[in-house]
Homo-oligomer: A and B are copies of this chain.
Amino acid sequence: MPARIEDVAATAGVSMKTVSRVFNNEPNVREKTRARVEAAAKALNYRPNPSARGLAGNRSYLVSLVFDDPAAGSSYIMEIIVGMLVACEQSRYSAMLRPLEYASADHIGAVEDSIARYRPDGLVLVPPFADDVKLLRRLDELGVRYATISAKAKIGHERVGTILDERKASAEMIAHAVALGHRRIGHVAGPLPHGGRAWRLAGYRDGLRRAGLPYDEALVVDGGFSFEAGIAGARHLLDLDEPPTAIFAANDDSACGVMHEAFERGLAIPRDLSVFGFDDTPTSRHVWPGLTTVRQPCRDMGRIAAEQLLALIRDPTAGELVHVPYELQIRQSSGPAPSRPRPRPRSRTR
């Protein structure tokens, strides 16, 4: 029922190929012809049939975002995909979501399977997939194009995508804490297989070192990116004989867990404890007090990664790794270090 390229050609009085040229921005079309074709297309409300285009061109005009399923629901992923959609729109591509279980026995097989099924022209990978050397190597073998969104190019496999220097951002966050007078700063680290963990932890250590503060292993607790991990981490740290006056959590969800546990103990934030997060999720603005955290420009990252990927798809030598800026969001969860030892925990205030 919809108009076909043939109809447009007939209306414009040109061949199908000319219409095709116009729609694909190919050269060798006289301006006047181009205008005539465009008018005809508009009159007929012509849109190229994506399936036909894909079949004939041996492409799917599809890029997929590969991420860890448990992260579904996070605003991070949503922002990335919306950014990707922006980039895709302009290139007549579409974007699809592939939540896969990174922890599963054969996550690389799952990625391959997804590729075989949907035949995307390329992938956008976020951590932990973006940090997985084996996966990247396999994709290279298969000749599958991909863009990575990550904290650092680790292995030279990453060719295009975005990089946000999480290590530097974390160090800056620690510097902020130090400037507020904090000397004992705890860290609830990210989950083990996740790239974010290493860089944020490294930045934490950098920050301490630069401030001339010792690195105390007792102040670092293995955590995770979840609210519950934050609670557990805070319990551990606040139960220490000499608890920290500030806690840097590896992401906002776990930072919220830290705040939660502090409140449960009757601690006031930031009077008794300062808390820092990472990601700047909507939640970080919505909690009280507002959470001091690191903003990542997720939507831009998604857009840029897709743009670079599309460039790479067009031309295998094109595209680059783009550094994107982070931004400290100083809110009310961070304040001066208590001058005196913290008061004994009061009973719950509810």
Q: What residues on B are CB-neighbors of A288 within 8 Å?
A: 259-260, 263-264, 287-288
Contact A51 B55 (CB under 8 A): yes
Contact code string A269-313 (vs B, CB < 8 Å = 1, else 0): 011000000000011011111000000000000000000000000
Q: Which residue of B lies closest to A270 (CB)?
A: B350
Q: Which residue of B lies closest to A268 (CB)?
A: B349
Q: Is A91 an interface residue (CB 8 A)?
A: no
Q: Is A15 an interface residue (CB 8 A)?
A: no
User: In which size bucket is the chain A interface?
Assistant: 35 or more
Q: What residues on B are CB-neighbors of A78 within 8 Å?
A: 72-75, 77-78
Contact A50 B99 (CB under 8 A): no
Q: Which of A113-121, A177-185, A316-324 participates in binding chain B?
A: A113-121
Q: Which residue of B lies closest to A48 (CB)?
A: B117
Q: Is A171 an interface residue (CB 8 A)?
A: no
Q: Is A227 an interface residue (CB 8 A)?
A: yes
Q: Would you give the shortest CB distance from A308 to chain B, in whole angstroms? A: 21
Q: Is A342 an interface residue (CB 8 A)?
A: no
Assembled-state Cα–Cα distance A289/B47 (Å): 52
| Known A-B contacts A288-B259, A288-B260; A73 and B282 likewise in contact (beta carbons under 8 Å) | yes
Q: Which of A18-26, A79-87, A200-208 participates in binding chain B?
A: A79-87
Q: What residues on B are CB-neighbors of A95 within 8 Å?
A: 96-97
Assembled-state Cα–Cα distance A78/B71 (Å): 10
A314-350, CB < 8 A from B: 332, 335, 349-350
Contact B85 A79 (CB under 8 A): no
Q: Would you give the shortest CB distance from A37 to chain B, in whole angstroms? A: 18
Q: What residues on B are CB-neighbors of A285 within 8 Å?
A: 227
Contact A49 B45 (CB under 8 A): no
Assembled-state Cα–Cα distance A96/B65 (Å): 12
Q: What residues on B are CB-neighbors of A349 within 8 Å?
A: 268
Contact code string A234-260 (vs B, CB < 8 Å = 1, else 0): 000000000000000000010011011
Extra 18 A-B pairs, beta carbons < 8 Å, given A50-B119, A73-B82, A259-B288: A47-B117, A47-B119, A50-B51, A50-B60, A51-B119, A72-B78, A72-B82, A73-B75, A73-B282, A77-B78, A85-B99, A95-B97, A256-B286, A263-B288, A283-B287, A286-B287, A332-B350, A335-B350
> Can you name 24 A-B pairs with beta carbons within 8 Å?
A2-B116, A47-B117, A50-B54, A50-B119, A51-B53, A52-B55, A69-B82, A72-B78, A73-B79, A74-B78, A82-B97, A85-B97, A92-B117, A94-B118, A96-B96, A256-B287, A263-B289, A264-B288, A268-B349, A282-B283, A283-B283, A283-B287, A287-B288, A289-B350
A-B pairs, top 4 by smallest CB distance, nearest first, are A51-B54, A256-B286, A51-B55, A283-B283
